[in-house]
C-alpha cells in the first residue's frame, strides 16, 4: 500500500431520507427489497475497495468514486473505502477485490502493466464515451469503469450504478458487450457531442414556461449565492449523460454578460457544475452592442460589433475556461437579429462562432447554437403566409455558409412544440450544416406538468422520421442530428427543461421521467425505435426507459412497474386525443397561458397557428397544389407526394396538411368514420383513459407499494388531470358541434344527464356569470359569489338521477389571487370540502379569469343519494377569487362525465 498517495475512509453521515420529496429523482440508491439471486450475487461481489485514479478535488473522477460509495451503501448497505491511487495502483490489483475508476489513459499509465491486469484499449472510445470491464463472478480481476475523458468516467459510473440500483447484473444487461478472458467489456459512446439542456431562466428568478418553481441560478438580477441546488441539478443531468446547460432564457437579457459581477456569477455556476462534467452555456442578446455596449449598431459585419463580442467572449473564457458556448435566438418573436442590417442568419451566427473559436481551447472550440425558430410577425388575415414554411425558407439557402462550430438548433416540428407535428423538413436541408434537434421536456403545450404526458413516443415519431431519399439514401432525422447521415462533425440534442427550485425539480414527480428519457435519448437517439421485436437488443425503447426509471424512482415491484409504464405509454395518445387529434395542433389558448382549451384563439391573430375551422370544415391546406406549399418542403419527393394527398396522409396528420369537410371519411386503415365523429370519439376516449389513470394509481396505494408522500402528490395530479381532460373534451367537442351543426352519433356531446348546472340551482349570495370562451363552462355559464361572505347554491336532486351510490363531481374555477374554500353537502350534511389553491399545489401557469385554464374538478367517491335529497355547495370567496362554480354531477360507476 505504500504506493498509494492517500488512503481515505469517507465517513458516511447520510442516513436514508425518511421523506420522499423527489429531490433525489432517480438517484435514490434505495435498498433492493425482495432480493433475488441476482441481487444476492451482486451484493456478495461488491468490491472491498474503490480505487480512484485522480486525487484532485473537484475532478469528475472523484465525484464518480463518491457516487460509487454512496450507491453501495444505499443499495447494498456496504461501506466501502476509497483509495486514492494518484501515482500507481499496481499494488492493489490482484491482492484485493477492487473497483477501479478513472480515465482509460490514467489506468494504462498507473495500473495497466501488471501481471493481473493488462492495458485496456481505448481506441474505440470517443470523447465522453466509456467502457466497463467486468470480471466474471469467480475471478479476482478488478472491475474497471474507465472513460475516454473525465466526464466519460462519470457517465460510465452512473450508468453502471443505475443498473445495480435496479437490481440488474450489469454484465448481463450490457449491450454492445464482448466477453473474453474471464471478463465482459461493454463500450458505450455517445451518438453525438451536443447533449445540452436549455433553461429559460430570467435574471429576476422567474422561468419562462417553467412549472417547477423559481430559478436555480438567478434572483433579483444576480446569480444566487447558494448554488447547492445548481450542483445537485448537474448531478442529475450528468447521471444521464448531459454535458452542458445554457443557464439563461433564449429571450436573453444583455445584462448577464455585461457586468463583472454577473460574469463572476456565471463562473460560480460553472464551478458548481464542473465536478459533474457539466459545462455552462449562455444565451446572448443580438442587440447587446447597442443596448449595453454603447455602440450605435449591432450589425454583425461592423468591426466595432465584432470587437464587442470578442471582448465579451474573452472575459467569459478568462473566468470559465471550459465554457460550452452560446445560444442565440435572433429575428424571432420580436428578438433582434442580423436581418435588421440586411445580413444573413449565417452572418449573424458566424459572428459569435468566430469569437468563440478565437478564445476557446483549440481542441474543444466553443459551440454556437443558432435557433432555427425564425419567423416574422405574420399576417392576421392571410393563412397562406404559413409560419410552418419559415425555417426552410430562411435556412435552406444558407446551407454550407455556417462555420464549423455553429450548430443550427431545430425544433422538432415546424410550428412550436405542439402535441403532434410532422418532423421539421429543415432537417433534410441541412446537409452542409451541423444540426441539433430541440425538444421540450417542460410541457408548455402538453399540460404543464399537471397532465401526465410521457414524451419519448412523441420524440420517436420525429427521430425516426425519414426525410426521404437524398442521393438515393434515406435521411432519417436521428442519423442527421448525430452527424452520421451527412458527415457532420457536430450535432445532437437540446432539451428545454426549465427545472426549478421545486423539490420535484419539474413540478411533478412523474414528469421527471421525461428528463431521464431525454438524457438517454440524447446519448443514443438511434436505439430505442420500437421495431416491434421484444427481444431487440436496443435497451432504450420508450417502454424500457419508463420501466428502468420507475424501478429507480419508486421500486421494482412488477405491479408498480407495469402500472406506471402502462399509464406513461397511454398518456401522450390520450392527451393528443383530448387536446388536438388528427394533427390540428394543441387547441389551447395561444394568446394566454398555453394550458387550457381555446380553439378559436388559434386563427386570425398574427401568430400563424391556423386551424381554419369554420362551419364547413377544418384543417390547414399545406399542399403544393392548392395550399401553402409546406408539403413540398420535404427533400424526398416521395415524402412530399405522400403528404400532398388526403388519401396517403397519415390520419394523425390529416388536418395539419389538408382542409377537409367535417364529413370527410378518414383515409387509410382504421375505423371507417368521419372527421367530426373522430373528433368526438377521440375526445371521449382520451378523457376515459385519463380517468383510468386515477383508478390504476389508487390500486397501488391499496397494495402499499409507494410511500405516502409521493403517492398523495401523484394522486392529486392525476385526479386534476382526469377532471381537466373532461373540461378539454367538452370544450373542443362543444366548439366543433357548434360550428358544424353535426351531432355526435352517440349523443354524448352537449348532453349531460348526470349534471346539475350551478346557474340552475337556488342561489344565495351567488350570481350568474358568463364564461369566456363559453365552451369552457358547462352550459356556457358559471356562478360567482357576489360579496365577501359565504354563498350557497342548492338543488333538489332530480328524479332522472335515481337513488343509489355515485361519485359526486364538482366543477369550479380555481383562479390566481385567492384561495376560496368550498364544502358540498347532501341534506345539510357535509360530505366533502376543499380549497381553491391550485396556485400552491401545481406549477402550471395561473389564470385570473373563469376560463379553460382555471376550470377544475374535485370528486368524492361513494356518495349515497336517496329520493328527494338536496345537494348544496357552499363557497367562501377569498381575495380576487369569487368561489366560482360550474356544475355538480352524480356519476354512476363507469360514467366519465
Ligand atoms: C485530475 O483531475 C483534474 C481536475 O479535473 C484534472 O485537471 C487533472 O488533469 C486530472 N489528473 C489526471 C492525472 O488525470
Ligand atoms: C447494515 O449493515 C450493518 C452492519 O454493517 C448492520 O448493522 C445493519 O443492520 C444493516 N442495515 C440494514 C438495514 O440491513
Ligand atoms: C508500481 O507498483 C509496482 C508494484 O508494487 C512496482 O513494481 C512499480 O515499480 C511501481 N511503479 C511506479 C511507477 O511506481
Ligand atoms: C510495461 O512494462 C514493460 C516491462 O516492465 C515495459 O517495458 C513497458 O514499457 C511498460 N509499458 C507501459 C505502457 O508502461
Ligand atoms: C460499440 O462498441 C464498439 C467497439 O467495440 C464501438 O466502436 C461503438 O462505438 C460502440 N457503440 C456504441 C453505441 O457505443
Ligand atoms: C383550394 O382552396 C380554396 C380555398 O383556399 C378552396 O375554396 C378550394 O376548394 C380548394 N380547391 C381544392 C381543389 O382543394
Ligand atoms: C365507409 O362508410 C361509408 C358510409 O357508410 C361508405 O359509403 C363507404 O363506402 C365506407 N368506406 C369504406 C372504405 O368502407
Ligand atoms: C384515442 O382515440 C381513439 C379514437 O377514438 C381510440 O381508438 C384510442 O383508443 C384512444 N386512445 C387513448 C389512449 O385514449
Ligand atoms: C375542511 O373543513 C374542516 C372543518 O371545518 C377544516 O378544518 C379543513 O381545513 C377544511 N379543509 C379544506 C381543504 O378546506
Residues 477 and 524 in one domain: yes
Asked if residues 107 and 117 have their Cβ atoms less than 8 Å apart, the reply is no
CB of 250 within 6 A of ligand 8: the answer is: no
The HSE-up count of residue 110 (CA atoms within 13 Å, CB side) is 26
Q: Which atom of ligand 7 is nearest to the CA of 672?
A: 1
| Angle (CA) 611 616 621, round 5° | 40
What's the mean per-residue pLDDT of the chain? 94
Site to probe by mutation for ligand 1, drawn from 150, 276, 279, 361 as the one with most ligand atoms within 8 Å of Cβ, is: 150
Residues 94 and 239 in one domain: no
Q: What is the pLDDT of residues 855-886, one digit of tens each?
A: 999 999 999 999 999 999 999 999 999 999 99
Tally of domains within the chain: 5
The average pLDDT across 584-592 equals 95
Confidence band, pLDDT 50/70/90 cuts, at residue 13: very low
Is there an atom of ligand 8 within 6 Å of 385 CB? no
Q: Confirm whether 802 is domain-assigned.
A: yes
Q: Which residues have C-beta atoms less than 6 Å from ligand 7?
A: 665, 672
pLDDT at 360 over 50: yes
Residue 782, domain CATH: 2.60.120.260
**Cα 423–Cα 425–Cα 430 angle in degrees, nearest 5:** 120
Q: Of 616, 618, 615, which is closest to residue 581 (Cα–Cα)? A: 618
Q: Are residues 283 and 386 in the same domain?
A: yes
pLDDT at 5: 36
For residues 667 and 649, membership in a common domain is answered with no
Residue 756 to residue 891: CA distance in whole angstroms = 11
pLDDT digits 0-9 by tens, 216-248: 999 999 999 999 999 999 999 999 999 999 999
Residue ending a domain, choose from 719, 751, 783: 751
pLDDT of residue 447: 98
Please check whether residue 812 is in contact with residue 688, taking contact to mean a CB–CB distance below 8 angstroms: no
Q: Which grid coordinates belong to 619? A: 384543417
Buried b (16+ CB within 10 A) or exposed e, 291-324: bbbebebbbbebeebbebbeebbebbbebbebbb
For residue 162, give the DSSP letter: H
Give the residue whose CA is nearest to atom 2 of ligand 3: 90
pTM of the model: 0.95
Q: Which pLDDT belongs to residue 112?
A: 74
User: Distance between CA atoms of 558 and 791, rounded to whole angstroms?
Assistant: 49
- Tell me: do 639 and 736 sit in the same domain: no
pLDDT at 380: 86
In a domain, 232, yes or no: yes
Query: Are 765 and 743 contained in the same domain?
Result: no
Confidence bin at 180 (pLDDT 50/70/90): confident
- Is position 638 annotated as part of the catalytic site? no
Looking at 733, 751, 769, the residue that finishes a domain is: 751
Q: How many Å apart are CA 297 and CA 849, to the nearest integer?
A: 43
pLDDT above 70 covers what percent of the chain? 95
Where b means 16+ CB within 10 Å and e means fewer, 521-539 reads bbbbbbbbbbeeeeeeeeb
CATH number at residue 144: 3.30.379.10
Angle at 667 between CA 665 and CA 668, to 5 degrees: 140
The pLDDT of 99-113, averaged and rounded, is: 89
Share of the chain above pLDDT 90, in %: 88
Pair 695, 570 in one domain? yes
The 3-state secondary structure of 575-625 reads HHHHHCHHHCCCCECCCCCCCCECHHHHCCCCCCCCCCCCCCEECCCCCCC
Residues 174 and 242 in one domain: no
Same domain, yes or no: 594 and 742: yes
Verify whether residue 333 is a known catalytic residue: yes
Q: Determine the structural domain holding residue 834 and report its residue range.
A: 752-891
Residue whose Cα lies nearest atom 11 of ligand 6: it is: 626
Q: What local confidence, expressed as pLDDT, does residue 538 receive? A: 46
Which residue in the list 386, 444, 730, 744 is annotated as catalytic? 444
In a domain, 11, yes or no: no
* Closest to 67 measured CA to CA, from 169, 160, 139: 160
Q: How confident is the model at residue 86 (pLDDT cuts 50, 70, 90)?
A: low
Rounded-to-integer distance, Cα 768 and Cα 538, Å: 58
Give me 214's grid cell. 423559481
Tell me: pLDDT of 3 over 60: no
List of E strands, 746-869 = 755-757, 762-764, 766-770, 781-785, 791-796, 804-813, 821-826, 829-835, 855-865
pLDDT per position as a tens digit, 718-738: 999 999 999 999 999 999 999
What average pLDDT does range 658-669 have in this prediction?
96
d(CA 824, CA 830): 6
Looking at the structure, tell me whether residues 259 and 407 fall in a common domain.
yes
In this structure, the answer to whether residues 597 and 680 fall within a common structural domain is: yes
| 416 has catalytic annotation | yes
pLDDT digits (tens, 9 = 90+) for 310-359: 999 999 999 999 999 999 999 998 899 999 999 999 999 999 999 999 99
Residue in 512, 517, 515, 516 with CA at minimum distance from that of residue 528: 517
Q: Does residue 645 fall inside a structural domain?
A: yes
Residue 567 sits in a domain whose CATH number is 3.90.1330.10
Q: How far is the CA of 181 from the centre of ligand 5 (A)?
A: 19
- What is residue 706's three-state secondary structure? coil
Dist. CA 802–CA 140, nearest whole Å = 75
Report the interhelical angle of 542-553 vs 512-523 (nearest 10°).
130
CA distance 381 to 387: 13
Whether 698 and 709 map to the same domain: the answer is: yes
Final residue of a structural domain among 751, 773, 805: 751
For residue 178, the CA-to-ligand 3 centroid distance in Å is 30
Which of the residue ranges 127-131, 151-155, 377-381 would you say has the lowest mean pLDDT? Answer: 377-381
pLDDT reading at 464 higher than 70? yes
Amino acid at each position: 500500500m505504500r504506493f498509494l498517495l492517500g488512503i481515505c475512509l469517507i465517513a458516511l453521515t447520510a442516513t436514508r431520507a425518511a421523506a420522499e420529496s423527489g429531490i433525489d429523482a432517480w438517484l435514490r440508491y434505495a435498498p433492493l427489497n425482495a432480493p433475488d439471486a441476482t441481487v444476492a450475487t451482486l451484493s456478495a461481489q461488491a468490491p472491498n475497495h474503490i480505487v480512484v485514479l485522480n486525487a484532485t478535488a473537484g475532478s469528475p473522477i472523484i465525484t464518480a468514486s463518491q457516487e460509487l460509495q454512496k450507491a453501495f451503501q444505499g443499495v447494498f448497505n456496504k461501506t466501502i473505502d476509497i483509495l486514492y491511487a494518484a501515482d500507481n495502483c499496481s499494488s492493489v490489483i490482484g491482492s484485493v477485490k477492487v473497483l477501479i475508476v478513472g480515465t482509460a489513459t490514467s489506468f494504462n499509465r498507473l495500473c495497466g502493466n501488471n501481471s493481473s491486469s493488462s492495458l485496456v484499449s481505448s481506441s474505440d472510445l470517443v470523447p465522453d464515451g466509456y467502457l466497463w470491464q467486468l470480471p466474471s463472478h469467480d475471478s479476482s480481476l478488478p472491475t474497471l469503469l474507465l472513460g475516454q475523458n473525465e466526464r466519460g468516467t462519470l457517465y460510465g459510473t452512473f450508468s453502471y450504478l443505475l443498473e445495480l440500483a435496479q437490481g440488474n447484473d450489469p454484465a448481463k444487461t450490457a449491450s454492445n458487450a464482448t466477453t473474453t478472458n474471464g471478463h465482459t467489456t461493454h463500450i458505450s459512446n455517445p451518438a453525438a457531442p451536443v447533449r445540452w439542456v436549455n433553461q429559460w431562466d430570467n435574471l429576476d428568478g422567474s422561468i419562462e414556461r417553467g412549472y417547477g418553481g423559481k430559478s436555480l441560478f438567478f434572483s433579483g438580477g444576480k446569480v444566487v449565492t447558494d448554488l447547492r441546488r445548481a450542483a445537485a441539478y448537474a448531478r442529475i443531468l450528468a447521471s444521464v449523460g448531459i454535458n452542458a446547460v445554457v443557464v439563461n432564457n433564449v429571450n436573453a437579457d444583455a445584462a448577464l454578460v455585461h457586468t463583472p459581477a454577473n460574469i463572476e456569477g456565471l463562473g460560480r455556476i460553472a464551478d458548481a457544475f464542473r465536478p459533474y462534467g457539466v459545462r455552462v452555456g449562455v444565451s446572448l442578446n443580438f442587440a447587446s452592442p447597442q443596448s449595453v455596449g454603447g455602440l450605435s449598431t449591432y450589425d454583425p459585419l461592423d468591426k466595432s460589433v465584432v470587437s464587442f463580442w470578442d471582448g465579451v467572449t474573452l472575459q467569459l473564457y478568462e473566468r470559465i475556461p471550459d465554457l460550452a458556448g452560446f445560444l442565440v435566438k435572433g429575428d424571432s418573436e420580436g428578438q433582434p437579429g442580423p436581418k435588421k442590417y440586411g445580413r444573413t442568419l449565417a452572418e449573424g451566427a458566424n459572428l459569435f462562432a468566430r469569437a468563440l473559436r478565437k478564445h476557446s481551447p483549440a481542441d474543444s472550440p466553443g459551440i454556437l447554437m443558432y435557433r432555427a425558430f425564425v419567423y416574422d410577425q405574420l399576417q392576421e388575415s392571410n393563412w397562406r403566409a404559413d409560419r410552418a414554411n419559415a425555417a426552410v425558407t430562411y435556412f435552406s439557402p444558407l446551407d454550407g455558409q455556417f462555420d464549423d462550430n455553429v450548430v443550427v438548433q431545430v425544433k422538432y416540428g415546424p410550428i412550436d412544440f405542439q402535441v403532434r407535428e410532422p418532423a421539421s423538413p429543415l432537417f433534410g436541408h441541412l446537409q452542409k450544416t451541423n444540426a441539433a434537434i430541440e425538444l421540450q421536456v417542460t410541457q408548455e403545450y402538453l399540460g404543464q406538468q399537471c397532465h401526465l404526458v410521457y414524451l419519448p413516443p412523441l420524440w420517436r415519431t420525429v427521430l425516426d422520421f425519414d426525410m426521404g431519399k437524398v442521393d438515393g439514401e434515406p435521411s432519417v432525422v436521428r442519423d442527421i442530428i448525430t452527424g452520421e447521415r451527412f458527415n457532420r462533425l457536430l450535432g445532437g440534442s437540446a432539451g428545454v427543461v426549465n427545472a426549478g427550485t421545486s423539490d420535484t425539480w419539474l413540478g411533478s414527480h412523474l414528469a421527471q421521467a421525461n428528463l431521464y428519457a431525454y438524457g438517454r435519448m440524447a446519448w443514443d437517439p438511434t436505439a430505442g425505435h420500437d421495431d416491434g421485436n421484444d427481444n431487440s437488443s436496443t435497451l432504450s425503447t420508450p417502454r424500457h426507459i419508463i420501466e428502468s426509471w420507475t424501478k429507480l424512482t419508486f421500486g421494482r415491484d412488477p405491479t408498480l412497474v407495469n402500472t406506471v409504464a402502462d399509464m406513461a405509454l397511454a398518456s401522450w395518445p390520450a392527451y393528443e386525443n383530448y387536446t388536438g387529434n388528427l394533427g390540428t395542433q394543441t387547441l389551447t389558448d395561444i394568446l394566454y397561458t398555453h394550458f387550457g382549451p381555446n380553439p378559436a384563439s388559434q386563427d386570425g391573430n398574427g401568430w400563424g397557428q391556423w386551424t381554419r375551422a369554420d362551419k364547413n370544415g377544418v384543417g390547414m391546406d399545406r399542399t403544393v397544389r392548392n395550399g401553402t406549399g409546406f408539403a413540398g418542403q420535404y427533400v424526398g419527393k416521395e415524402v412530399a407526394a405522400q403528404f400532398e394527398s388526403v388519401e396517403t396522409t397519415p390520419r394523425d396528420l390529416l388536418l395539419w396538411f389538408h382542409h377537409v369537410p367535417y364529413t370527410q371519411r378518414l383515409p387509410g386503415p382504421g375505423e371507417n368514420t368521419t372527421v367530426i365523429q373522430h373528433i368526438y370519439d377521440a375526445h371521449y376516449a382520451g378523457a376515459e383513459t385519463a380517468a383510468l389513470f386515477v383508478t390504476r394509481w389508487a390500486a397501488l396505494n391499496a397494495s402499499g407499494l409507494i410511500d405516502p408522500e409521493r403517492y398523495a402528490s401523484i394522486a392529486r395530479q392525476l385526479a386534476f388531470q382526469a377532471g381537466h381532460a373532461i373540461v378539454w373534451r367538452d370544450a373542443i367537442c362543444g366548439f366543433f358541434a357548434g360550428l358544424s351543426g353535426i351531432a355526435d352519433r352517440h349523443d354524448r356531446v352537449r348532453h349531460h344527464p348526470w349534471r346539475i348546472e350551478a346557474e340552475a340551482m337556488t342561489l344565495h349570495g351567488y350570481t350568474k356569470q358568463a364564461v369566456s370562451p363559453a365552451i369552457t363552462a358547462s352550459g356556457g355559464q358559471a356562478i360567482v359569489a357576489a360579496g365577501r361572505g359565504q354563498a350557497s347554491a342548492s338543488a333538489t336532486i332530480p328524479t332522472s338521477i335515481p337513488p343509489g351510490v355515485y361519485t359526486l363531481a364538482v366543477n369550479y374555477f380555481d383562479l390566481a389571487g385567492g384561495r376560496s374554500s368550498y364544502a358540498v353537502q347532501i341534506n345539510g350534511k357535509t360530505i366533502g370540502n376543499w380549497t381553491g389553491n391550485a396556485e400552491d399545489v401545481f406549477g402550471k401557469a395561473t389564470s385570473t379569469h373563469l376560463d379553460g385554464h382555471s376550470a377544475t374538478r374535485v370528486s368524492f367517491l361513494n356518495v349515497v343519494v336517496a329520493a328527494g335529497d338536496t345537494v348544496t355547495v357552499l363557497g367562501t370567496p377569498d381575495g380576487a377569487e369569487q368561489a366560482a362554480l360550474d356544475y355538480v354531477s352524480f356519476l354512476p360507476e363507469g360514467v366519465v362525465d
